[in-house]
Amino acid sequence: MITVTKLDELRRETDALKGSGTLALVPTMGALHEGHLTLVREARGKSDHVAVSIFVNPRQFGAGEDLDSYPRQLERDAELLAREGVALLWAPTPGEVYPEGYATSISVSGVSEGLCGAARPGHFDGVATVVCKLFNEVRPDMAFFGEKDWQQLAVIRRMARDLDLTLPHADAIHGVGIVREPDGLAMSSRNAYLSQEQRVQAAGLSAAMREAIARIAKGADAGEAIADLKAAIIAAGFEAVDYAELRDADSIAPLSSPNGNARLFVAARIGGTRLIDNMAV
């Protein structure tokens, strides 16, 4: 595996890889876990070469968020990726991605509104901007993202369609299903923030979601089921629920009842850590 930190070198290496087959990109912020490695394996199954980016993007963190404390473990991550057969690791510095005088931002309306877009103002502008830059830097034939960040995936696909991107085309931006711990908690780099007690309590998030979805499937009023879901999350040990909403999976528009394409989206805080999850309804 080749590790690259400078843009001019990246372009030489990606040209060489693309000269001998298709190239897939898996964008990450590092602190890799089995969810990330699942993305890599999916990418390997659909392409000739896989590139992974590791970049903790300052532009998607708001004031008071965990930019400084976000786990950074590049050496360990590189070892994991090399074992998975990754061809190239793109690990730029913030100054390489946002050089002095950088002044451009991408904003995607509609799918970015509500949910994490409301709870984290400016977050999706930072996501869309950095992902567009990563696409232009690596020029992959396809890209892979985890469905745990479902709204993020919708934003990226909308951005790719609206800007007529071809490397990758919007249809080549693949979502990969959520990888969960045995107790149901969605895998996340932020799970490392949890104490042992909080980690046990955190499993109550997905359990409460499954219970609410089962009730809705049996004909219960969605509003009542979601109200009880919020109460169950607090009872499990969470301090607050940022949101618990039923939305259309594609448009991210709010729903009052299932429409055949609905997902339940939840964000909640425990011990200062914000966890998100979503499930089909």
Whether 168 contacts 135, CB under 8 Å: yes
Tell me, rounded to whole angstroms, the distance of Cα 117 from its chain centroid: 13
Q: Considering 36, 49, 123, 174, which one is annotated as catalytic?
A: 36
For 247, the 3-state DSSP assignment is strand
| Nearest C-alpha neighbor of 46 from the set 176, 187, 180, 178 | 176
Q: DSSP states of 183-225 as a string?
A: TSPBP-GGGGG--HHHHHHHHHHHHHHHHHHHHHHTT--HHHH
Q: Which two tokens stand for residue 238?
A: 């969470």
In angstroms, rounded to a whole number, what is the distance separating the alpha carbons of residues 137 and 130? 10
In angstroms, rounded to a whole number, what is the distance separating the alpha carbons of residues 23 and 138? 9
Whether 17 contacts 28, CB under 8 Å: no
Q: Let me know if 33 is a catalytic residue.
A: no
Tell me, rounded to whole angstroms, the distance of Cα 3 from its chain centroid: 23
In angstroms, rounded to a whole number, what is the distance separating the alpha carbons of residues 123 and 115? 11
Residues carrying an active site annotation: 36
